[in-house]
Structure 1
Amino acid sequence: MKKFCIMLVLLLSLIMSGCGGKQEPQDLSNTTNTVQEKISTSGNDRYDINKASYAVKNVKINYPQLSNLSDSIKQNKINELIKTSALEVLDDYKDDINSLNLNMDFEIKYQGTDFLSIEYLGLAIVKGAAYPVHVLQTANIDMVKERILVLSDVVIVNDSFIEKFQAGQYKAYSSDLNLQSAGVLKDKLSNFNSQDLMESLKQRSARFYFTKDALGVSVEVAHAAGDHLEMEMPYKDLSGLLLVKPDPK
């Protein structure tokens, strides 16, 4: 009986010790350093944005990926759309891919439950080329319809829109290259042939982005002028031309 009591005490001691030494599950929510921003919405529409990278040889392209969206199938589809559109920049270098040095990063220009607008900026250097190229790529996702938008989905591209573009607000992408400060912006804009510009902006490849208040459009310019030029037009100035716009809540 005494031996039984001693064994019972030891057993109880082990049980109590095990309970006292139990660790709480580790909180892993903040262990990743890839989170860029969090959407300021609530409920089932909330999602986070993480940074992912494509890195092969001398090419590195950072692009966003969604996480914590309540609909995982929708999340996977949108993430694939984003990745595919980010890597489309490589199509311009198919013949020089082995001698390409490219670094490209992204900025979220607008994020909401209705649209997600992404701008990519980078520098491409091809071995043997006369100069590097400043690269700009954009992707605009319709979060509801789960598709990539083109500019003609967003605005009517006509003579009136070309006038709005040329009268828009110039946005320098680098402090080292500001056409407005240099006093040459007006000349660069006047050099555009309106018809050619209209046809260019009607192409599926036309680059644009949303902000909360304005539509930004990018056009190609000479290397000496920075390779690309961006103008922003407030939505309120595009009355009668705008087909869709973000609705920040």
Structure 2
Amino acid sequence: MNVLKKLIIFLGIFIMCLGFAACSVKEKGLSNDLMDEKKQQSQAPKSQTPKSQTPDPQAPSDEAPPDPTGSDPMSLPPYTYDIEGRNWNVEGITVKYPMIVNSNIQEKSDEANDLIMNDMSTLIEIIKKNVNDETLTVDGVFDYSQISPTVLSICYEIDYYAESLAYPVSLYHTLTISLDQVAAIPLSDLFVIDETFVEDFKTMWMYAPFRDLDLEASGVNIKEEIEKLYSNKELIKLFSQANAQYYLIDQGLILSIEVPHALGDHLEMATKYEFLEIYMKKDHPLWKDYMFLGGDGFEGTNEGELYTIDKNIKVGDILTITLNENLSTGYSWQYAIEDDEVVSFKSDYVLENGGTDDGVSAIVGTGSQHEWNFKGLMQGSTAIGLDYLRSWEDRGTEAQTITYIITVE
């Protein structure tokens, strides 16, 4: 019995030992698996740390730098460039033309040069098509004006001849470019083209720097010759077209029209900017930094040829209104005060072009400036209306009307 009891105890101990041994093997296997997994993780490539949303200013950037030639002109750096003359020499055609070089914005310059080349190519093709003669020869020179950092104005004086033509023909061609927009600027984008504008055009002075031609010295009445060739309506249409021929220089505007060969094939008339202030469209970027000398450029409400300008003054202050006019055309400004208890007229005078306050040494037939002085009498609002019309014409036939809304404080 004791033997059997001892045997049972021994078997129990043996079974317990086997159980402990199995647990130890299982735990060791699990431990090895964990070690292998950690080993594999340590050998695998480390995952990259997510980038911070705030870039390190010292770290290199993967983003492309901003494009200095972007579409927003305000993002452009100051535009600098030089002009270099080139020669177009093809099949009897010798024309000098400008190219933009040494630019700090190369892409814009390349586009502008393409525009210049396409304009010249189109002009030559038109000449060749109109003449259609193998003996055609073309010679031309150019001049240019950097009227602002982003506006380049170009003019060409071109002469062409062929055996089929009775005489050589002279051609005046212009191109004014916005370099930031890389586009031609129509004259009508810069100035109000109306009846008064074309009347003033007829009395500008003749401009002929490329050739020895002085029609006035030959006794030609230029204004009369223009009126024989063009009505005011035709001139308005001509100057309003996208291809109106004009050239901007530092001192003023040069306008060109076609005339008969006896008058030189083309006629250029020039005037100073100060006598064009009344026509300037102030919202155009070209006039952003222009220092207006006196004429009230049109701003505010504009309906047709009716303009409204707001002015604020204090009681006792003098309000000065200066407008351009050309008495040789028969037109002059006539004013009317709505309420003369708020504002009263004090004085006026006309300053002739090129003259002094009393008109001495004025250039006959050119524009002038008319200045009025009004005094604020009491607080309130009133209006001063100015009509540009001929003295023998009735109200309602005005070429222009400007209404000043005056607030006296």
State whether TM-score is above 0.5: yes
State the superposition RMSD in angstroms: 2.1
- 1:160–1:248: structure 2 CA closer, same or farther, 3 Å change rule? closer
| Whole-angstrom distance in 1 between the partners of 2:211 and 2:241 | 30
Q: Which structure 2 residues correspond to residues 2-151 of structure 1 after superposition, within 5 A?
A: 44-90=78-124, 91-95=126-130, 96=132, 98-151=134-187
* Aligned position for 2:44: none
| Whole-angstrom distance in 2 between the partners of 1:55 and 1:139 | 21
Cα displacement string for residues 96-145 of structure 1 (whole angstroms, at most 9, x for unaligned residues): 16332100110113443131111100211022111111111101011222
Cα displacement string for residues 212-247 of structure 1 (whole angstroms, at most 9, x for unaligned residues): 121111000000000000111222212232224465
Contact 1:164–1:238, Cα closer than 8 Å, also in 2: no
Contact 2:108–2:180, Cα closer than 8 Å, also in 1: no
Max Rg structure: 2
Deviation at 1:190, TM superposition (A): 3.4
In the alignment, does 2:224 pair up with 1:190?
Answer: no
225-234 or 87-96: bigger deviation? 87-96
| Whole-angstrom distance in 2 between the partners of 1:52 and 1:248 | 32
In the alignment, does 2:199 pair up with 1:157?
Answer: no
TM-score (norm. length: structure 1): 0.76
| Whole-angstrom distance in 2 between the partners of 1:174 and 1:49 | 20
Deviation at 1:179, TM superposition (A): 0.8
| Whole-angstrom distance in 2 between the partners of 1:175 and 1:61 | 17
**AA aligned opposite 2:172:** L
- 1:119–1:70: structure 2 CA closer, same or farther, 3 Å change rule? same
**AA aligned opposite 2:233:** Q
| Whole-angstrom distance in 2 between the partners of 1:176 and 1:46 | 35
Unaligned 5+ segments in structure 1 are 1-42
Q: 1:179 aligns with which of 196, 205, 215?
A: 215
Contact 1:44–1:69, Cα closer than 8 Å, also in 2: no
Q: 2:272 aligns with which of 234, 241, 247?
A: 234
Percent identity for Structure 1 against Structure 2:
27
* Aligned position for 1:38: none
- 1:110–1:48: structure 2 CA closer, same or farther, 3 Å change rule? closer
* Aligned position for 1:40: none
Query: Normalized per residue, which structure has more helix?
Result: 1
Question: RCO greater where, 1 or 2, for CA within 8 Å and sep 6 or more?
Answer: 1
Deviation at 1:69, TM superposition (A): 0.8
* Aligned position for 1:214: 252
Unaligned 5+ segments in structure 2 are 1-76, 292-409
167-176 or 231-240: bigger deviation? 167-176
TM-score (norm. length: structure 2): 0.48
195-204 or 154-163: bigger deviation? 195-204
| Whole-angstrom distance in 1 between the partners of 2:189 and 2:247 | 12
**AA aligned opposite 1:177:** L
**AA aligned opposite 2:118:** T
Contact 2:203–2:223, Cα closer than 8 Å, also in 1: no
Contact 1:113–1:144, Cα closer than 8 Å, also in 2: no
Contact 2:78–2:149, Cα closer than 8 Å, also in 1: no
Q: What SS class does the counterpart of residue 172 from structure 1 fall into?
A: coil
* Aligned position for 1:166: 202
Q: What SS class does the counterpart of residue 99 from structure 1 fall into?
A: coil
| Whole-angstrom distance in 2 between the partners of 1:152 and 1:88 | 22
- 1:121–1:50: structure 2 CA closer, same or farther, 3 Å change rule? same
**AA aligned opposite 2:277:** S
- 1:215–1:162: structure 2 CA closer, same or farther, 3 Å change rule? same
Deviation at 1:206, TM superposition (A): 1.4
* Aligned position for 2:308: none
Q: When the two structures are aligned, how many residues end up with a matched partner?
A: 207
| Whole-angstrom distance in 2 between the partners of 1:85 and 1:153 | 19
Deviation at 1:174, TM superposition (A): 4.6
Deviation at 1:205, TM superposition (A): 2.2
